[in-house]
Structure 1
Amino acid sequence: MYTLNNIDGIVFDMDGVIFDTESVCMKCWLTVGERYGLENVEYYVRLCTGRNEIETERIVTEAYGDKHDIKQLRAEVNTEVRNTLNKGVPLKPGAREVLEWLHESGVKVGLASSTRYDIIVSEMTEVGLLHCFDVIIGGDMIVKSKPEPDIYLAACKKLGIDPKNTLAVEDSRNGILSASAAGMIPILIPDLIEPDEVMLNKAYVKFDNLMQFKDKMLNTGI
C-alpha cells in the first residue's frame, strides 16, 4: 500500500497527464494529413505518443518520407499546434489541484517529458505550475526516449530518490513501458490511447483521472 508517507517521490509525464495537449496534437496532425492526403495518420501519431523529437521524426519519415517533405509537414503541424495553444495551454481536469496539493505536502515531485526542456519550462510558467516541480527532465536531455527507461532514471537520480519506491504517472504505452523498465511504480491514467493488455499488466494501478488518484492517496492509499 502506497501513501505520501511511505514513497520517495512522484514523477509525472506532462502531455496527456497534466496538459490536455495530446488531443490538440492529434487534431492538428489530422488537419495537415487531410491537406496532403496522408494515410493512417491517427495510427502513426499514437505510435509517436511519449517519444522525443528524434524518435518522432524517424517514425514520421518512415511512414511518409518517400512521398512528402517531412520538415514541411512537421512545420505545418507545429504552426497548427502553436495557433491552438496561443489561446492558452489546456490543463487536464484536476491537474492544478493535484500538483499544488503535492507541492504543499512536501513530497519530491519530478517531471519527465519527451517535450524539449525549454518548452516545458515555458508552458509550466504560463500556467503557473513551474514551482510545483523539484526536477524537470526534457526529451532533449537524454539520448534514448521512452519506452527506454533513461528519462525516468535521470529524473530519479536528480531527485536523489530510489526508482523502486517512486510513483510514475503516465498516460501512454511508451510511458508505462519506460516507467516499468526503470523499476518504478507505474500509475496509468489513460488519455487518447485505450490501454492494451501490456499497459494494464505493466501498470501498478489504473485511474480514470488525476482527482481519483488524489482521493485514493489521501484516503486508503493505492
Structure 2
Amino acid sequence: MTLTLPDRSFAAYIFDCDGTLVDSMPLHYRAWIASFRQHGAPFEWSEGEFYAGAGVPDREIVAGLNARHGCRLDPDLVHETKLEWFVSHLHELTPVAAVAELVREFHGRGEKIAVATGSDLSIVDPELEHVGLRHYFDIIVTPADVKRGKPAPDMFLLAAEKMGVAPADCLVFEDGKAGIQAADAAGMASVFVPSAPTAFC
C-alpha cells in the first residue's frame, strides 16, 4: 500500500486505530458476529454494513441496529462480549505496514502524534501493544473522553487540543467514512487508508 500525503507540512498527526494502525477490521467483524449470536440478535449484519459503520463507537452501532430492527439488545452486554472475544484473538493481529512506517518516521523526527479511535481503551491498549506501536503514543482519545463519537469532530479536536496544535495544522489518517467526515468537520486534512475489501469500498 502506498499512501499519498498532502504536499504541505503539518504540526501534528492523528491516527485512527482499527483498520488504520492495526489490520484488525476482519477480526472486529468476527467478534461482532460472535457477540450477536451469543445474545440472540434477530438480524443478519453483513460485512458491507460493518465497514460502512467503521469508526462509530460500538454502543452507538448496537443502538442503531436496535432502532432499525425493532429489537432490544443491551449495548453494554453486546460490547463486553465482543471485547472478550476480540481480546482472546489478539494474537491474529498485525500492523498496517505503511502506516506503522509513518508512525516510526514521525516519532523519530520528534513530530507530535496521537490516536483518536472509536474503540475503547481496553481494546486499543492491548492491540497497539501487540503490534509494537503502543509506546509511540502518549495521547490516545477514545469515546470515553468526548460526548460525541465520529462522525462528530470531538475526538480529533480533543487530540489537537491535547497536543497544543490548531486543528488546521493536523493531518488525520483514517480508514472509515465516519472518520473522514469527522476530520472534515474538525477542519483537518485527511489521508484515506483503505482497509475494506474492494467489494465494500
Residue 190 (structure 2) aligns with? 186
Q: Identify the match of residue 15 of structure 1 among 15, 18, 31.
A: 18
Counterpart-to-counterpart distance in 2, 1:73 and 1:134: 29
Q: Identify the match of residue 82 of structure 2 among 77, 84, 87.
A: 77
Percentage of identical aligned residues: 24
Q: Identify the match of residue 103 of structure 2 among 99, 106, 111.
A: 99
- Contact persistence 2:12–2:170 (CA under 8 A): yes
Residue 51 (structure 1) aligns with? 56
Residue 205 (structure 1) aligns with? none
- Report deviation, 1:27: 2.7
The amino acid that maps onto 1:161 is V
Unaligned 5+ segments in structure 1 are 200-222
**TM, length-normalised to structure 1:** 0.74
- Report deviation, 1:55: 1.4
- Contact persistence 1:64–1:70 (CA under 8 A): no
Counterpart-to-counterpart distance in 1, 2:187 and 2:199: 20
Q: CA RMSD in A?
A: 2.9
The amino acid that maps onto 1:185 is A
Residue 119 (structure 2) aligns with? 115
Q: 1:166/1:25 Cα in 2 relative to 1: closer, same or farther (>3 Å)? A: same
The number of residue pairs the alignment matches comes to: 194
Q: 1:176/1:126 Cα in 2 relative to 1: closer, same or farther (>3 Å)? A: same
Of 52-61 and 104-113, the range deviating more from structure 2: 52-61
Looking at CA atoms only, which structure, 1 or 2, has the larger radius of gyration?
Answer: 1
Unaligned 5+ segments in structure 2 are 1-5
**TM, length-normalised to structure 2:** 0.80
Counterpart-to-counterpart distance in 1, 2:60 and 2:164: 28
Alignment partner of 1:39 is 2:44: yes
Alignment partner of 1:26 is 2:29: yes
- Contact persistence 2:56–2:150 (CA under 8 A): yes
Residue 3 (structure 2) aligns with? none
Counterpart-to-counterpart distance in 2, 1:128 and 1:43: 29
Q: Identify the match of residue 174 of structure 1 among 156, 161, 178.
A: 178
CA offset digits 1:149-176 (Å, max 9, x no partner): 0000000011011111211001100000
Q: 1:195/1:106 Cα in 2 relative to 1: closer, same or farther (>3 Å)? A: farther
Residue 214 (structure 1) aligns with? none
Counterpart-to-counterpart distance in 2, 1:67 and 1:32: 14
Q: 1:139/1:74 Cα in 2 relative to 1: closer, same or farther (>3 Å)? A: closer
The amino acid that maps onto 1:132 is Y
- Contact persistence 2:15–2:114 (CA under 8 A): yes
Q: 1:105/1:68 Cα in 2 relative to 1: closer, same or farther (>3 Å)? A: closer
Counterpart-to-counterpart distance in 1, 2:34 and 2:59: 22
Q: Identify the match of residue 129 of structure 1 among 129, 133, 136.
A: 133
For residue 173 of structure 2, give the secondary structure of its aligned residue in structure 1: strand
Higher relative contact order (CA 8 A, sep 6+): 2
The amino acid that maps onto 1:22 is M
- Report deviation, 1:123: 2.9
